[in-house]
Amino acid sequence: MTSLNISNELKTLAKSQNIENLINSEPNRLNNFCKKIGDLVFDFSKSNISQSQLDEMIEFSKTKKVEEMRAKMFNGEAINLTENRAVLHFALRNSSREWSAKGSSQSEKMRKDMEIASSFAQKIYDGTIKTKYDAPFKNIIHIGIGGSDLGPRLVYEALKPFNHDGPQIRFCANIEPTEFKYAIDGLDPKETLVVCVSKTFTTIETLTNLNLAREWLQAGIGKDDMAHLVAISAAPGKAMAQGFAQDRIFGFEEWVGGRYSLWSSVGLSLEMAFGRKFMEELRNGARLMDEHFESAPINENIPFIGGLIGYWNRVVLDYESRAIIPYAARLKLLPQFLQQLDMESNGKAISRDGNDLKYSGPVVWGAEGTNAQHAFFQHLHQSPIITPLEFILILDDGLEYDASRQLTLANALAQSEGLMRGKSLETVSQEMRAKGSSEEEIKNIAPHRVFSGNRPNIVTLLQKLDAFNFGALLAFYEHRCFVEGILFDINSYDQWGVELGKLIALEINKDIENGPSEKRDLATKNLIEIIRKGK
């Protein structure tokens, strides 16, 4: 078969097949669907796709030219066609290789920029660069939003327990004013470095918070606050226009998309807090996944398999969302990070060549297990709406393996098995009978206790939560997102969909000040008036 025909028959067949039967009947299923790389295990075996269907998907990916597009990406062609940009964030994870973007060599400048930024960060980390008061910085306030926030914040929260000997980081993203108040709560400006991160240096949230931070700094250390400020941007000129000195601005290239920018100087606060070696480990782990993604054959290629199954779930099984459930409190921000990565990348209506799309990437949501079990797992187990799940498990989180860890792991596996297996009416009835329920009770109650099962899920297990393994995990998601994007025929690297709201917000801000303009709709006008009366 050269191309997958996504007919109604195929959809009906796929929806009617039973995952556990596939696991039991397909001789090599665990070998073929459960893959290991370094310290990471990706178990796709509880997906509702047979071996032969996965083989067809592999053939299908060839008709979609996923491998050719991958080569174009790694060769620095402008695959982000609406912005005429190459996509090369992974170059930052392998800076000794020669890279070019749109035919022009990047490596030398990249290496130089990385070295300048890294040695600055190292000096903040070890206290060589000091405050105006000749003391090491104790705190960093990292101001930035979206891709300029989520990656660094996620990594910080995930890994700080093991690495934290530099300054502490507080993050400030939201324009809503309590965010800044919480960020500075208890901090002394005399001991604090403000790191302002914005690829464009035009983002209203970030610039507003930067102003608040400068007022706060100036109130604490005087007008000359630049010694306590750093800017990170791909538009250094704009940072300079805000008063930042050249040697306090750390740049990165336009081929690093915001949601892929953790690996660039956007991650510099992490390097200031955790040191150079930490960032190297994070990047090295990601490089392991990059090299695997670039070279492994499709049927062994973990991001490829993940992407093929993601597409299958969305298009063949018609599942509209995916839930990310890390069984680790430290990874509780992972769903948010993946929301931006997947939804900003693949939530589009137009194909790469400008046609209307029937399918785009799924809605991504989730929360940490086990808390999530006590919040929304009811829906996941029994609602007719089926949501594929992605469990992330940590075997060694640096603490002693104890009863709590084991129960955490047991809970994750229990959910994974329970969602797949379900529980039949017959079993429920038998159990109720054995406990002495009357036939009348069984008739009325048993249907409520049935689990239809056959709900797909992926289990990813990290043997150890450390910078290297976490880097590899995040790179997996980036590459899977690429594969899904190509299968959907989407340009995953632009984000025009965020522009409309930004423009209207500026207008409405004026309307709240001066009264609603005639162009507002009636409902919005009404709300503006209510706000104007109440403010």
> Which residues are near ligand F6P by CB under 6 A?
145-148, 198-200, 203, 206, 258-259, 344, 495, 498
Q: Which is nearer to ligand F6P, 501 or 534 (CB)?
A: 501
The C-alpha atoms of residue 286 and residue 307 are separated, in whole angstroms, by 17
- Structural element, H or E, at residue 511: helix 499-514
- Which residues are marked as active site? 344, 374, 502
Q: Which is nearer to ligand F6P, 361 or 456 (CB)?
A: 361
- Structural element, H or E, at residue 196: strand 192-197
Q: Which is nearer to ligand F6P, 231 or 467 (CB)?
A: 231
Q: Which is nearer to ligand F6P, 258 or 456 (CB)?
A: 258
Give 230's Cβ-side CA count (13 Å radius): 24
208: left (phi over 0), alpha (psi -120 to 50) or beta: alpha
Rg (CA), the chain: 25
Q: Which is nearer to ligand F6P, 174 or 382 (CB)?
A: 174
CB count in 10 Å sphere of residue 500? 9
* Closest CB 202 distance from ligand F6P, rounded Å: 7
Residue 100 is given by DSSP the state E
Residue 350 is given by DSSP the state B
Question: Residue 136 pairs with which residues in a beta bridge?
Answer: 130
Q: Which is nearer to ligand F6P, 207 or 528 (CB)?
A: 207
* Closest CB 197 distance from ligand F6P, rounded Å: 7
* Closest CB 199 distance from ligand F6P, rounded Å: 4
Tokens representing residue 421 in the block: 């297996």
For residues 455 and 386, is the Cβ–Cβ distance under 8 A? yes
* Closest CB 114 distance from ligand F6P, rounded Å: 18
* Closest CB 187 distance from ligand F6P, rounded Å: 23
Question: Residue 323 pairs with which residues in a beta bridge?
Answer: 365, 389
The C-alpha atoms of residue 51 and residue 49 are separated, in whole angstroms, by 7
* Closest CB 324 distance from ligand F6P, rounded Å: 19
For residues 193 and 248, is the Cβ–Cβ distance under 8 A? no
For residues 180 and 213, is the Cβ–Cβ distance under 8 A? yes
Q: Which is nearer to ligand F6P, 260 or 327 (CB)?
A: 260
Ramachandran angles phi, psi of 332, nearest 5°: -65, -15
Tokens representing residue 288 in the block: 């392991």
* Closest CB 361 distance from ligand F6P, rounded Å: 15
106, 142, 193, 219, 421 from 188: Cα distances, Å:
40, 15, 10, 11, 55
The C-alpha atoms of residue 43 and residue 229 are separated, in whole angstroms, by 45
